[in-house]
Structure 1
Amino acid sequence: MQNRQFGIFDLRQDKPCCIKPFPSSSSICKPVVDIDTSLIYLCGRGDSIVKVYEFDSKNKNYISELTQQNVGESLKGITLLPKRAVHVRDCEINTLLRVGNNKVSKNGSYVIRRASTKYQGDLYPESIWVGTNQTVEEFMKGENKKPKEINLECIFDSKGALDAAYEPEDVKEQKRIEKEKKEKEEREKKEKEEELKRVEEEKNRVVHKAPKIIRSTHFRHINTRAFNKNTNIIDCKVNTNNSQSLIKVNTKWVGIPWIGIGKVAVWPLEKSGKMIDPIFCDNGGNINDFTFDPFDDNILYIGGEDGKIKVFSIAPEGATKIKEIQAHNRKINGLYVNPFIKNCVISIGTEPCLKIWDIEKGESLFDVIGFGDNINNISFSWDGERIAVSCKDHIVRIINCRNGNIENQCEVPQNGGKGFLVSWCGRIEKLFIVGFNKMSQRGYSLIDIKDNMKIINNTVIDTESAILTPIYDEDLNVCYLIGRGAKTMHCFEITDEPPFVHPLNISTFNDVVYGFDKFHKQYCDIKKAEIMHLVLLNGEPPSAISQTSVYVPRVRLEYFQDDIYPETRKNEAIYTIEEWMNGVQKDIPYISLQPEGMKKLSEAPAENERAKYSYEQERKRIEKEEEEKRNAAIFDRVFDRMNEKRDTFDPIEDDSESWSDD
């Protein structure tokens, strides 16, 4: 019986070092050796297995088997590709070609390394150069030259480097000369251009003004921070067809127009999870607008297509309609509660007409007419004496709230088909206008009320189609613009200095926003430098309610940031209806937002001088944010799984009256 064998033969001692058996077959086995790595590949003609061995002269057995490759078909032969073909970046040490039935397959031998982005020099010793080492004449004369070797590190970044290494010396020299010539020409051309430019600048040189200094402001880096998803309210079935407002909120409830006809769904704000069986306020017809009473969290006003204002009282057990007023002959377009007068509601009809109501008595105080088209929105002045009204006839009007007279008006530049919205800019007596022009470009303008309604700023923002809604902070004189169906929030600071409107940071929300509302300033988290607390209606289509904090990045949060928290107007009614109509004047009550026990930043001891940017602090901050994101993702997965289990869980009814350990 003939068995195949292979072994290592020592030429210096003229005897074999070791002989090992090989799987029996009638085919002749041909070894393929890689002299760089001392690997031996064995396979016979007709075999389907390729065995890989390693030769080590320091090992007493000389040969150790590493692995075997089961091809699954009979092979006619194997060979190795040159070293220049291996993937050094992937830690491939050899590429084996296998000839099978009508095909040639390629198989690489890899070494698994953790840091494969670096060149692994211990895997790649210098490889013999395959080019000519000496001429025939030199060989015949008996000259003995050592073969040229190349380090494979040159192809770690580019295989072209190895191709260049194999080029003959005369070709390399020619390329070097051409490269130097080209670099010299480019350098001379660049020097000539710079000289011409210098001469031209010297010729036209003028005395330049002092460079413009970046304007200092506390609010340049206003940003948003979304609350954790476990605080979200999901599965909200929102009707987006008729209502001007898609979400309203106070410290206790959140309300949305429910899918179908004539219902507002009210849900506890602190109760997260799926909105199942909410409290319904049934209007009986299509809802055009709704709002909560700012002084009573349990009162909701609804205006519908039937022209009626309906008042609902909300309790955990359900909602009860307590009053109904026939406000307009046609449908109501908007509903606003006066933030200074108790039980005072302003309704906007399609006549067009604006009416101010005493809700308690169900009487109209006075009507305001004279509008050329439908009213878009209204905005109250800082003292409640006047309101600004935006109309589709491209005119903004100022109305006296005590007698209903139109005091002033002007045409705005935002005169496109989609109209515009107005916001009163606090105590600085200006109007901020945002809308579309005739070129369908979104933009804003600023109108000075004291200067006979003069337009002092008109700027284009972009060409997006989302309608921007303004929110003005009268304490900080910062205006926020949020687009319906967009993910961005534009911020502007309004001042008395030209150009009057100063762009701030553009913040991005996590999801598309279809509706939003905000809390009063006194409910913000002062200890985290929060200047506005938003409640958003997210999703596409909208189906989730989330909370987002608008904050100013600060370092010394252990102190009360009194430079960004001036005294704010207290959230309470100042006048009664009778006092207002009799012309009574009262001072507006303001409150300090300083938490008890916190020291003001202006009274804090000075900090030791430190570097403006600390890379160590930045690294720790990034690591902390990444850890918070990981923890939030884990919690979200667990929370979603619990919700799924809760939806599919069928509780077992037990008739027993009590449990016993017996």
Structure 2
Amino acid sequence: AAFAGRFRQSKFKHVFGKGAKREFCYDNIRVTKSSWDSTFCAVNPKYIAIITDAAGGGAFMVLAHDQYGRVERDPPLVAGHKAAVLDVQWCPHDDEFIASASEDCTAKVWRILPESFSDGNLTESYRDLVAHNRRVGLVVWHPSAYMVLLTAGADNKVLIWNVEEEEVMKEIEFPDNVLSCSFNWVGSMFVCSCKDKVTRVVNARTGEFVAEEKLHEGTKPQQVLFLRDGRVFSTGFSRMSERQWGLWNGSTLEPIDKQELDNSNGVLFPFYDPDVNLLYLVGKGDSVIRYFEVTEDAPYVHFLNVFQSSEPQRGMGWMPKRGLDVSSCEISRLYKLHQKGLCEPISFTVPRKSELFQDDLYPDTCAESYALTAEEWLQGKDAEPVLSPVRPDAASAADIAAAKAKKRVPEKRPKKSAASAAADKGDRADVPANHLLANSNSSDSTAAATVAADPADTSALESRVADLEATVQNLTSLVESMRDSMAQLTSECEQLRATRVG
């Protein structure tokens, strides 16, 4: 039976991880020295957020993905909290919004725009969520309802917010401090681990405890998450302080499987890919990342491989599938925070010879849109997250479909002011509205004059050409990296053969 499990068929058994070159990392970051058990980093397709040390209050840094290299000595920060920031999470339905939790007893939601840091630090939040009596250590977004946020505080309370209204929709009391929390796939329930070593499955609307169980005997913090199929995965410690992971029934918390991992003492943070059921276990202070595949059949959790590095990790961020490079068969990307202030992207790739899009690796993934409003969710409606194709040429079709369901997609930018609209109209007053239709057979010189009358089109084309050139350069560097990896693997294989012959 052991050999049958070892040689099972899986398209992910050859997944390998590779850290980015130094010139594509982010350096000189003053990562927070807080002892709070958090990942200290959050990533979406637009930005990287990292909790930093800040004198006289709490702050975190936001970097665009193309801001490689050394960060300036005093970079602009998101600095509205009065005490240390403990957790940050990007909104899954709008890449501009991020929630933060702090020791100042508040949670805040911020809107990050390209011009947000033009005048220095960002200190004005989008919404202030004030209701906890003690520090707030955890923020978790609802998977399918727009602007619904869960916060957990040291006052032993979990609050579920309508962020737009700054209103608490549900307050749930717990016997002890909540340390970890995760919604199920439709957001009707959540599972949480508490300081009293008991894990609870909770009805998110009524606050009823559906199940309570002690999953791990150790006193150190546990981490829990709901899998897409409704099962619960946990990490924790045995009575002898050995690190463990466990798989449990999501309705009753009855055990399905539990295994010991090692004797290290760092908290294990699980990162889960619901599209392909892969799990990545990251231990704080470790220098390895273990990854597993979860299936419905025994032995349920299959070890795939280990990414080994020389530097221990202080924190870790997870890129959503929408931000990956599918042209190189990248299936996940983690952002590792080093102890010395470096943020290193680590790409996990399935080796494939074909350069075509690999449909079997990329099922539909969560889109940047929502299925429910906060009011609909509170009234009892449940819905799975909105999914969209990962295939690059399918993005336009997904955008059209999202545009048709107007209420499902939040407004991205404020409308132009009347003065701006009038100025735009004046700029084009000398070009008739039916110019292009009436002159479909005009000469090349007339066409050139039309382009000149609207320089925005020319600018857009030039920008597009520049983006394509940058993409080609990135692809070239990726191919070179793959060649280096293949050469290294070939060398290692030859060494192994020589060792066995000897």
Same-fold status (TM-score > 0.5): yes
Matched, 1:375 2:172: no
How far is 1:447 from its partner? 0.6
Secondary structure (helix, strand or coil) at the match of 1:297 reads coil
Matched, 1:252 2:61: no
Give me the whole-angstrom Cα distance separating, in 1, the residues matched to 2:153 and 2:383. Answer: 31
Name the residue aligned to 1:308: 106
Give me the whole-angstrom Cα distance separating, in 2, the residues matched to 1:270 and 1:340. Answer: 29
Cα offsets for 1:230-275 (capped at 9, x unmatched):
1111111122215534222222322222223322222333111221
Q: 1:289 to 1:219 in 2, by over 3 A?
A: same
- Which letter maps to 1:279? P
Name the residue aligned to 2:400: none
Secondary structure (helix, strand or coil) at the match of 1:532 reads strand
Tell me which of 505, 508, 519 is aligned to 2:305. Answer: 505
Matched, 1:423 2:225: yes
Secondary structure (helix, strand or coil) at the match of 1:584 reads coil
Tell me which of 127, 145, 155 is aligned to 1:323. Answer: 127
Cα offsets for 1:568-592 (capped at 9, x unmatched):
2223222111111122344543222
Q: Tell me if the contact between 1:252 and 1:270 (Cα under 8 Å) persists in the aligned partners.
A: no
- Which letter maps to 1:418? K
Q: 1:279 to 1:594 in 2, by over 3 A?
A: same
Q: Tell me if the contact between 2:370 and 2:386 (Cα under 8 Å) persists in the aligned partners.
A: no
Q: Tell me if the contact between 2:40 and 2:86 (Cα under 8 Å) persists in the aligned partners.
A: no
Name the residue aligned to 1:38: none
How far is 1:357 from its partner? 0.8
- Which letter maps to 2:78? C
Name the residue aligned to 1:191: none
Give me the whole-angstrom Cα distance separating, in 2, the residues matched to 1:436 and 1:587. Answer: 33
Cα offsets for 1:302-325 (capped at 9, x unmatched):
222221123333314142334323
Give me the whole-angstrom Cα distance separating, in 2, the residues matched to 1:240 and 1:302. Answer: 17
- Which letter maps to 2:12? F
Matched, 1:346 2:150: yes
Name the residue aligned to 2:254: 454
Tell me which of 240, 250, 266 is aligned to 1:439. Answer: 240
Matched, 1:232 2:25: yes
Alignment TM-score, normalising by the size of structure 1:
0.56
Alignment of 1:160-175 (within 5 A): none
- Which letter maps to 2:342? A
Give me the whole-angstrom Cα distance separating, in 1, the residues matched to 2:2 and 2:332. Answer: 38
Q: 1:625 to 1:514 in 2, by over 3 A?
A: farther
Matched, 1:466 2:262: no
How many positions carry a matched residue from both structures?
Answer: 390
Q: 1:372 to 1:218 in 2, by over 3 A?
A: same
Q: 1:563 to 1:362 in 2, by over 3 A?
A: same
Give me the whole-angstrom Cα distance separating, in 1, the residues matched to 2:384 and 2:287. Answer: 40
Tell me which of 335, 343, 348 is aligned to 1:545. Answer: 343
Give me the whole-angstrom Cα distance separating, in 2, the residues matched to 1:353 and 1:211. Answer: 47
Q: 1:586 to 1:211 in 2, by over 3 A?
A: closer
Q: 1:351 to 1:624 in 2, by over 3 A?
A: closer
Q: Tell me if the contact between 2:186 and 2:384 (Cα under 8 Å) persists in the aligned partners.
A: no
Secondary structure (helix, strand or coil) at the match of 1:257 reads strand
Percent of aligned pairs with the same amino acid: 27
Tell me which of 384, 388, 392 is aligned to 2:191. Answer: 388
Give me the whole-angstrom Cα distance separating, in 2, the residues matched to 1:302 and 1:212. Answer: 46
Give me the whole-angstrom Cα distance separating, in 1, the residues matched to 2:485 and 2:106. Answer: 56
Name the residue aligned to 2:202: 399
Alignment TM-score, normalising by the size of structure 2:
0.72
Secondary structure (helix, strand or coil) at the match of 1:579 reads helix
Unaligned segments of structure 1, at least 5 residues: 1-208, 598-619, 627-662
Name the residue aligned to 1:574: 371
Cα offsets for 1:542-573 (capped at 9, x unmatched):
401121111122232x2322222222222322
Larger-gyration structure (1/2): 1
Computed over aligned residues only, the root mean square deviation of the Cα atoms, in angstroms, reads: 2.5
Name the residue aligned to 1:358: 162
Give me the whole-angstrom Cα distance separating, in 2, the residues matched to 1:625 and 1:229. Answer: 20
Q: Tell me if the contact between 1:267 and 1:275 (Cα under 8 Å) persists in the aligned partners.
A: no
Q: 1:587 to 1:462 in 2, by over 3 A?
A: closer
Matched, 1:592 2:386: no
Instruction: Name whichever of 492-501 and 213-222 sits farther off.
Output: 213-222
- Which letter maps to 2:272? Y
Q: 1:348 to 1:548 in 2, by over 3 A?
A: same
Secondary structure (helix, strand or coil) at the match of 1:481 reads strand
How far is 1:512 from its partner? 2.2
Give me the whole-angstrom Cα distance separating, in 2, the residues matched to 1:335 and 1:222. Answer: 31
Name the residue aligned to 1:222: 15
Q: Tell me if the contact between 1:514 and 1:542 (Cα under 8 Å) persists in the aligned partners.
A: no
How far is 1:292 from its partner? 2.8
Cα offsets for 1:626-660 (capped at 9, x unmatched):
6xxxxxxxxxxxxxxxxxxxxxxxxxxxxxxxxxx
Give me the whole-angstrom Cα distance separating, in 2, the residues matched to 1:210 and 1:418. Answer: 32
- Which letter maps to 1:581? L
Name the residue aligned to 2:61: 265
Structure with greater proportional strand content? 1
Q: 1:595 to 1:311 in 2, by over 3 A?
A: closer
Secondary structure (helix, strand or coil) at the match of 2:322 reads helix
- Which letter maps to 2:268? L
Q: 1:219 to 1:284 in 2, by over 3 A?
A: same
- Which letter maps to 1:406? F
Secondary structure (helix, strand or coil) at the match of 1:522 reads helix
Alignment of 1:45-124 (within 5 A): none
Cα offsets for 1:174-204 (capped at 9, x unmatched):
xxxxxxxxxxxxxxxxxxxxxxxxxxxxxxx
Q: 1:361 to 1:437 in 2, by over 3 A?
A: same
- Which letter maps to 2:67? K
Name the residue aligned to 1:285: 83
Q: Tell me if the contact between 2:201 and 2:250 (Cα under 8 Å) persists in the aligned partners.
A: no
Give me the whole-angstrom Cα distance separating, in 2, the residues matched to 1:567 and 1:216. Answer: 22
Give me the whole-angstrom Cα distance separating, in 2, the residues matched to 1:235 and 1:483. Answer: 23
- Which letter maps to 1:331? R
Q: Tell me if the contact between 1:249 and 1:517 (Cα under 8 Å) persists in the aligned partners.
A: yes
Give me the whole-angstrom Cα distance separating, in 1, the residues matched to 2:363 and 2:272. Answer: 15
Give me the whole-angstrom Cα distance separating, in 2, the residues matched to 1:547 and 1:344. Answer: 29
Unaligned segments of structure 2, at least 5 residues: 395-481, 489-502
Q: Tell me if the contact between 1:242 and 1:287 (Cα under 8 Å) persists in the aligned partners.
A: no
Q: Tell me if the contact between 2:186 and 2:382 (Cα under 8 Å) persists in the aligned partners.
A: no
Q: Tell me if the contact between 1:242 and 1:286 (Cα under 8 Å) persists in the aligned partners.
A: no
Q: 1:622 to 1:290 in 2, by over 3 A?
A: closer
How far is 1:622 from its partner? 5.7
Cα offsets for 1:404-448 (capped at 9, x unmatched):
222222221x22121311121212x21111111111101111112
Name the residue aligned to 1:615: none
- Which letter maps to 1:448? N
How far is 1:511 from its partner? 3.0
Q: 1:552 to 1:280 in 2, by over 3 A?
A: same
Q: 1:585 to 1:211 in 2, by over 3 A?
A: closer
Instruction: Name whichever of 393-402 and 293-302 sits farther off.
Output: 293-302
